[in-house]
A and B are shown apart, each in its own frame.
Chain A
Amino acid sequence: MIYMYKVAVVGDKDSILGFKALGVDVFPVVEKDEARRVVDTLARHKYGIIFITEQTASLIPETIERYNNQMLPAVILIPSNQGTLNIGMDMINKNVEKAVGTNIL
């Protein structure tokens, strides 16, 4: 199954504007409901990868969680311009704990 997927970036406007110059579709969001709606819509519309800033992701943890055990889309957290909240790292550590039982890293 080969299909061309698009790449999206979701987050606050100032953080993600730079991605636009690279030809990635950007979707600035501010509110929680808006963020959830945007992510869900993107997932339905052939976006294979959705980068979302940690600040925005922290508003909608359930939505992010929901896409974690599906093959597509890949929802990947990136830091925003206010720095990182370490959610991305935490998720890696949580995965290790889930798989191995203890954190071995």
Chain B
Amino acid sequence: MAILNVKPTRMELTTLRKRLATATRGHKLLKDKQDELMRRFIELIRKNKALRMDVEKELHESFQEFLLASAVMSPELLKQAVAYPKESISVEIKKKNIMSVNVPAMNFIRKLEGDEGSIYPYGFVQTSSELDDAISKLYGIMPKLLELAEIEKATQLMADEIEKTRRRVNALEYRTIPDLEETIRYIRMKLDENERSSITRLMKVKDIIQKEA
């Protein structure tokens, strides 16, 4: 541990003591923040992983059906069938604050919410039933996919923040605080030493004066 480059004066000692108090307090707070972030993160990441596995599996199935549909239908007809979607999905994004990390809180808005009609944007004459299956499957996955987007973004942002916080906690714990303590001790020693030396000097001077008198 290095002693900071300061002059051993009483004023310096006071400032350093204040800094140490701040650093210790900051360290405690950051440590608490890190613990809580970690707890939330682990909760979320487990959900994230399960959800992703689920979504990937279901998407795969849907793609398979879509592939079947494109095999049965001509590419032009397929393109034409989906060209003018009935449904329209948009997303309302608010900021949510998890332990000072801003994560998006997404709320999905479907234009057809509450509409009981068919979700298919085409007539049934020129299209195959495989396409219907594929699209209805995809439609079913969509809420999960959007939830995945929200959670995955949150975990990404939180992972960054946790890394940053950990660095700060470590820097305070292993560098700043020991350095400050060391320096404070050094200054105290030095001041004591000065005091002792001035006392001996005074005693010496007194002796000399008494001898001369």
Contact = CB atoms under 8 A, between A and B. Distances in A.
Interface of A: 1-7, 14-15, 17-24, 48-49, 51, 68-69, 71-72, 74, 76, 78-81, 83-84, 88-89, 91-92, 95-96, 98-100, 104-105
B125 to A, nearest CB: 17
Interface string B140-165: 00100110111011011111101100
B60 A83 contact: yes
B177 interface: no
A88 B148 CA distance: 11
A95 B45 contact: yes
A18 B94 contact: no
Contact of B52 (A2, A72, A89): A89
Interface stretch (B8-16, B25-33, B76-84): B76-84
Given A23-B88, A88-B52, 12 more contacts: A4-B92, A5-B90, A5-B91, A22-B139, A48-B104, A76-B152, A78-B56, A84-B60, A92-B48, A98-B163, A99-B38, A99-B159
A99 B158 contact: yes
Tell me the dominant secondary structure on chain B's binding face: helix
Contact of B78 (A17, A22, A48, A79): A17
A76 B106 CA distance: 14
Interface of B: 38, 41-42, 45-46, 48-49, 52-53, 55-56, 59-60, 62-64, 66-67, 70, 78-79, 81-83, 85-95, 102-104, 106, 109-111, 119-121, 134-135, 138-139, 142, 145-146, 148-150, 152-153, 155-160, 162-163
A81 B66 contact: yes
A89 to B, nearest CB: 7
Nearest to A83: B60
Interface SS of chain A: helix, strand, loop or mixed?
mixed
27 contacts: A3-B93, A4-B109, A5-B93, A17-B70, A18-B62, A21-B119, A22-B89, A22-B138, A23-B110, A49-B91, A49-B106, A71-B95, A71-B104, A71-B153, A74-B152, A78-B59, A83-B60, A88-B56, A91-B156, A95-B159, A96-B45, A98-B163, A99-B41, A99-B45, A100-B38, A100-B162, A104-B42
Contact of A80 (B38, B63, B95): B63
B48 to A, nearest CB: 6
A-B complex: 4 closest residue pairs judged by Cβ atoms: A23-B88, A81-B63, A23-B87, A74-B153
